[in-house]
Amino acid sequence: MDEPLKISALEYHRLPRPGKIADIVEVDLPRPRRAETRISPRFTELVQVIGRKIGLEYI
């Protein structure tokens, strides 16, 4: 889950139907994204937001 956040600027969430986009999340983390980025509050927040959008629950 966290790999796309390390490399992308936008995260697209598709619907089951081909070619349909459900949502786009802007990944507003500073670049370059270093190891410390993964422990930042914003990174954690983005992982949780995207996880909820695709039906995953994180503690």
- pLDDT tens by residue, 1-58: 677 778 888 888 888 878 888 889 999 999 998 889 989 999 999 988 888 887 776 6
Indicate the DSSP class of residue 18: T
Residue 27 lies in a domain: yes
The pLDDT of residue 57: 66
Indicate the DSSP class of residue 19: T
- Domain holding 49, by residue range, is 2-53
pLDDT at 59 exceeding the cut of 60? no
Is-contact 4 11, C-beta < 8 A?
yes
Residue 58 lies in a domain: no
The pLDDT of residue 40: 93
Which pTM does this prediction carry? 0.76
The pLDDT of residue 43: 93
Continuous segment of H or E residues that includes residue 46: helix 41-53
Domain count, the chain: 1
